[in-house]
C-alpha cells in the first residue's frame, strides 16, 4: 500500500477561507510581488497555450495571513505563493515558486511549451531557474529589505546586497550577450538563441523591478542585453495580465 499523504481534513480546517477549500482545480494563493508574479506568469501562459483555468486567493502579507495555521498547513514556510492542485485526491499543495513552476510544467504543460524535451536543454532550464532562486531572488530581496523596509539604514548591508545583485545581473548579461559564444541569446535556457521557458518566468519579475530596488539607469548601463530581454518578455500578453489588475487586491 502506498504511504499516506496528508488528508483533506489535515490540509483544510474551519479557518481556511472558503474560496481555498472549495476550489476545484489549480488554485494559487498569492500576492503580486516578484515571487507571486513568477507563478502568476506561468499560470497565465498555460491559459494562453492550453486554455488551462485556475483560481486565486489574493492575500496581503502585511497582515500576516501567511503565518496563520490554515496557511501553515499548506505551506509550513508561511510565505506566498502557494499552489494547490485540487484535481489530486487529496489536494496537493506546492510551495516554493520554482517547485510550483516545475509542478505545472510536469502536470499542465504536456507539450513542454515552457520547458524542453531535450534533457540537456531541460537541465539548462533547471540551472537558470536554480540560479535565480538561489542567487538572484534572495539578494535582490535583501536589497529591497535594507533599502526600503529596515528600521535603520545599514550602509554595509545595502552595499553588500546591491553589489551582489549587480553581480548576478552581470552573470545574466554574460549569458544573453553571448560574450563567450559569439551568439547573443533571446532567452536564458535552450540551445542557440534559447527558448522562452520557466527560467525566464522565474527571473523576469525580479530583474524588471530594478528601479523599485533603487538601481539607476547608470547602474543598468553595463547590461544592454538584459535590458532588451526585460522588454522582450514584458511584451507578452500573459505577462502583462500576470502583473496587472487581476492580481491586485481590492482596496
Ligand X SMILES: N[C@@H](CCC(=O)N[C@@H](CS)C(=O)NCC(=O)O)C(=O)O
Q: Which of 49, 58, 61, 158 binds ligand X (CB under 6 A)?
A: 61
Our finding on whether 40 is near ligand X (CB under 6 A) is: no
Q: Exposed, middle or buried by CB within 10 Å (0-12, 13-18, 19+), for 113? A: middle
Q: 170-188 in b/e burial notation, b at 16+ Cβ within 10 A?
A: eebbebbbeeeeeeebbbb
- Judged by CB under 6 A, the residue of 16, 30, 32, 35 near ligand X is 35
Q: Which of 33, 124, 129, 144 binds ligand X (CB under 6 A)?
A: 33
Given the rule CB under 6 A, which of 52-60, 75-83, 103-111, 142-150 is the region that contacts ligand X? 75-83
Locate cell 545583485: which residue?
Answer: 165
Q: Does 56 interact with ligand X (rule: CB under 6 A)? A: no
Local structure of residue 3 (DSSP, 8 states): P
In whole angstroms, the minimum distance from the beta carbon of 249 to ligand X comes to 14
Comparing every residue's Cβ against ligand X, the nearest one is: 79
User: Should residue 79 be labelled a site residue for ligand X when binding is judged by CB under 6 A?
Assistant: yes
CA dist., res. 140 & res. 121, Å (int): 27
Binding mask 206-225 for ligand X (x = CB under 6 A): --------------------
41 binds ligand X (CB under 6 A): no
Answer yes or no whether residue 144 interacts with ligand X by CB under 6 A.
no
d(CA 207, CA 1): 46
Residue 142 found at the interface with ligand X (CB under 6 A):
no
Calculate the alpha carbon distances from 65 to 60, 72, 117, 170 in Å: 7, 10, 39, 36
- The answer to whether 75 and 59 are in contact (CB under 8 A) is no
Q: In 51-161, at which residue ranges do the beta strands (DSSP E only) sit? A: 54-58, 82-85, 92-95
Cβ 223 to ligand X shortest distance, Å:
23
Q: Which of 23, 59, 80, 94 binds ligand X (CB under 6 A)?
A: 80
Shortest distance (Å) from residue 35 CB to ligand X: 4
Binder to ligand X among 44, 45, 96, 121 (CB under 6 A)?
96
242 touching ligand X, by CB under 6 A: no
Angle between helices 155-177 and 198-207 (to 10 degrees): 140
- Beta-bridge partner residues of 29: 57, 82
What separation, in Å, do the N-terminal and C-terminal C-alpha atoms of the chain show? Answer: 49
| Residue 129 near residue 199 (C-beta atoms within 8 A) | yes
Question: For ligand X, which is the closer residue by CB, 97 or 177?
Answer: 97
Binding part of the chain for ligand X, among 47-55, 74-82, 118-126, 186-194 by CB under 6 A, reads: 74-82
Residue ranges in contact with ligand X by CB under 6 A: 33, 35, 61, 66, 78-80, 96-97
Amino acid at each position: 500500500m502506498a504511504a499516506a499523504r496528508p488528508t483533506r481534513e489535515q490540509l483544510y480546517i474551519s479557518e481556511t477561507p472558503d474560496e481555498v477549500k472549495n476550489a476545484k482545480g489549480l488554485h494559487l494563493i498569492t500576492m503580486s510581488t516578484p515571487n507571486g508574479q513568477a507563478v502568476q506568469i506561468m499560470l497565465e501562459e498555460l491559459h494562453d497555450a492550453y486554455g488551462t483555468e485556475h483560481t486565486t486567493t489574493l492575500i496581503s502579507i502585511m497582515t500576516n495571513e501567511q503565518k496563520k495555521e490554515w496557511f501553515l498547513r499548506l505551506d509550513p514556510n508561511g510565505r506566498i505563493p502557494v499552489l494547490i492542485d485540487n484535481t489530486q485526491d487529496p489536494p496537493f499543495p506546492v510551495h516554493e515558486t520554482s517547485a510550483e513552476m516545475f509542478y505545472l510544467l510536469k502536470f499542465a504543460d504536456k507539450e513542454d511549451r515552457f520547458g524542453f524535451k531535450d534533457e540537456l536543454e531541460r537541465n539548462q532550464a533547471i540551472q537558470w531557474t536554480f540560479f535565480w532562486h538561489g542567487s538572484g531572488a534572495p539578494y535582490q530581496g535583501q536589497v529591497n529589505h535594507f533599502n526600503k523596509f529596515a528600521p535603520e539604514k545599514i550602509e554595509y548591508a545595502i552595499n553588500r546586497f546591491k553589489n551582489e545583485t549587480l553581480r548576478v545581473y552581470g552573470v545574466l548579461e554574460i549569458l544573453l550577450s553571448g560574450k563567450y559564444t559569439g551568439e547573443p541569446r533571446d532567452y536564458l535556457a535552450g540551445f542557440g538563441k534559447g527558448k522562452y521557458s520557466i527560467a525566464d518566468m522565474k527571473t523576469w519579475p525580479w530583474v524588471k523591478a530594478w528601479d523599485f530596488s533603487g538601481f539607476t539607469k547608470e547602474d543598468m548601463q553595463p547590461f544592454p542585453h538584459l535590458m532588451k530581454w526585460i522588454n522582450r518578455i514584458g511584451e507578452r500578453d500573459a505577462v502583462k495580465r500576470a502583473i496587472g489588475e487581476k492580481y491586485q487586491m481590492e482596496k
